[in-house]
Chain A
Amino acid sequence: MHTLYNRALGGRSGTVGLALLCVLLFLIFPLALDNFRLNMMSKYLSYAFVAIGLVLCWGNGGILSLGQGLFWGFGGYCMAAFLKLEAARNIAAESGSDQIRALTTVGLPDFMDWNQITSLPYIWYPFKSFSLTILLVFVVPTLLAYIIGTAMFRRRVGGVYFALITQALCWIMEISFVTRQGWTGGINGITDLRTCLGWDIRTKSAQIILYFLTCGLLIGCILIGRFILSSKLGRILVAMRDGEDRVRFSGYSVSKLKTFIFCVAAAMSALGGALFALNVGFMSPKLVTIEPSIYMVIFCAVGGRNSLIGAVYGAILVSYGKTYFSEMFPNLWYFLMGGVFILVTRFFPDGLAGAVDYLGPMLGRKLFSWIGRAQANFPAAVVPIPVEANEGR
């Protein structure tokens, strides 16, 4: 129990940070935001999954991937494919008219019709089943990450080269999804998603439930991340970031460890993508290409690339900033966003989490000295401030 407290929750300070985030996500946002804004928040949070993955593989493992949109996208497309098939079946059932039946192939997604595809492509077959879809949401991106990871890390491809390759892969995904219109919906993506297992995901109540589902899974990912980082594996990741050769000559297979953490990051991203499809109701290649992938890295950098919780705040703030600036200053917003990034990286290289770590104790000391002065007037009430021992982990 005690180890669980220390490892998953991260001791006292970790628990406080997590509790604050929970209060914000489960209490303040649902109460303060209207339905439209809450749904926007679900969308932002679905990006936070990627940011958490990046904290693991980039912040701690030193593997910078500029192509996380790839995994996020595969997760999202898998989920969207399932929802689209269900929507298509429902449309076929609702439309009693023979005219529609004559014009379309019953039960086939609309975009396939437009592309003269008359029977369901084989790769769409697994998405008829919900449980298989959930499995594929994780398996497809993780397997892809495994293949990329094994191929790259075995050959000791790292740093900037790895980042460029992941970016290229992202672009390849966009191009192939746009060009295989009949299978993927092309540039429009997969749109008009309606129900999930008969449950209408477009209603207000469904969006609220999905918001809470997203929050819950996000907290789950943070806990998994904490568990990994507090294990010996977490320390090896940091060690690898700072001295890969030494780790290798301590008897570890660096490529296997890197591949593992890259796969974990991919699986988390994929979960985010799947939730995006549920929350927002569509999936498009423009969401998975280079630009969004770079945004995902920026979320992580602004939040603090070493902090799992910081990454969530980063994703929320940057996404919110994007929305806010583009609503308020439609002509200027790119510059304003750029300005924010420059300021954050200039003054807080460790992101917001770094700023909190730096300013927090300072404010804390001020507060304590103020309390100390107040208590000095009543010497009997002086309570020694306990110093937390941090022996071993």
Chain B
Amino acid sequence: MIAELEIKNLTVSFDGFKAVDDLTFSVEHEELRVVIGPNGAGKTTLLDLICGKTRPTGGSIRFKGRELSRMQENSIVRQGVGRKFQTPSVYPKLTVFENLEISFPRGRGVWGSLFFKQSEDVRERIREVARDTYLSDHLHTSAEHLSHGQKQWLEIGMVLIADPKLMLLDEPVAGMSVRERQQTADLLQRICRGRSVVVIEHDMNFVKQIAHKVTVMHQGKMLVEGSMDEIQANEKVREVYLGH
């Protein structure tokens, strides 16, 4: 089977420090992959590299056969790659509705956005995504007044509304209550139908719940890859997490 996302020999160094070091890994269609690893393992940097926020020093990132590593950020988004950041970055002064509207993948050019018409299908899609992300009751709330967990959901919704083929989620349940975590797990199960998802997460219970496959990173390299049970049984992983 041909992988959707293929990363080969990816390296990035910041002043000689290799944050990601000769990494090779791939994600298949409809797969939900979780990347774990201790702090500084290069997880967030990996997502930055895929979505174009950071430029690689070497190696290749191919998505559906297209090379992403030299594209502009907005072009990468238009290839179908969506990114949710670690700290929820939503637009505080705009309402949930407006946040989702801006993320709607139409009218992205200067003139397109100037003459963008908020037609019924747009509104319907916004309501649908708000329902999926448990925000139906807050459509007209200013995003700055949402709880931390709701901001996380909103950002997931903002990525989701563009219907990306690859979603990159950086710590989607950080700061969430137990109940919210459960809801988010349900959400992710639904999301990964029809697309691939890469999640970075620290919460092992949550990882166990959602992951199809887990990749463990350590010092910019891949340590092991496998099912959650395999990972938990792995000696090297125990060493990395507990040995320090």
Contacts and interface: CB of A to CB of B under 8 A. Distances in A.
Nearest to A3: B117
Interface residues of B, number: 37
Contact of B73 (A242, A249, A260, A391): A249
A233 B77 contact: no
Contacts, number: 85
Nearest to A261: B110
Contacts of A245: 53, 85, 89
Contacts of A338: none
B205 interface: no
B90 A243 contact: yes
Interface residues of A, number: 27
A96 interface: no
Nearest to B84: A249
B72 interface: yes
A392 B123 contact: yes
Interface stretch (B95-103, B196-204, B232-240): B95-103
Task: Output the residue of B82, B109, B110 with the most chain A CB within 10 A.
Answer: B110
Interface stretch (A251-259, A269-277, A360-368): A251-259
A250 interface: yes
Nearest to A247: B102
Contacts of B166: none
A155 to B, nearest CB: 13
A260 B108 CA distance: 13
A253 B78 CA distance: 11
B107 A232 contact: yes
A336 interface: no
B118 A393 contact: yes
Interface string A234-253: 01101100110111111111
A390 B95 CA distance: 12
Contacts of A256: 109-110
B36 interface: no
B94 A249 contact: no
B158 A250 contact: yes
B177 interface: no
A228 interface: yes
B74 interface: yes
A235 B99 CA distance: 9
Contacts of A228: 114
B118 A252 contact: no
B114 to A, nearest CB: 5
Contacts of A242: 91-93
B133 to A, nearest CB: 16
A245 B88 CA distance: 12
B78 A238 contact: no
Contact of B72 (A231, A246, A253, A393): A253
18 contacts: A231-B115, A231-B116, A235-B101, A235-B102, A239-B99, A243-B90, A246-B89, A246-B91, A246-B155, A249-B53, A249-B73, A250-B77, A250-B103, A253-B108, A253-B109, A256-B110, A391-B140, A392-B123
Interface of A: 228, 231-233, 235-236, 238-239, 242-243, 245-254, 256-257, 260, 390-393
Interface of B: 51, 53, 72-74, 77-78, 82-83, 85, 89-94, 97-99, 101-103, 105, 107-110, 113-116, 118, 123, 140, 155, 158, 162
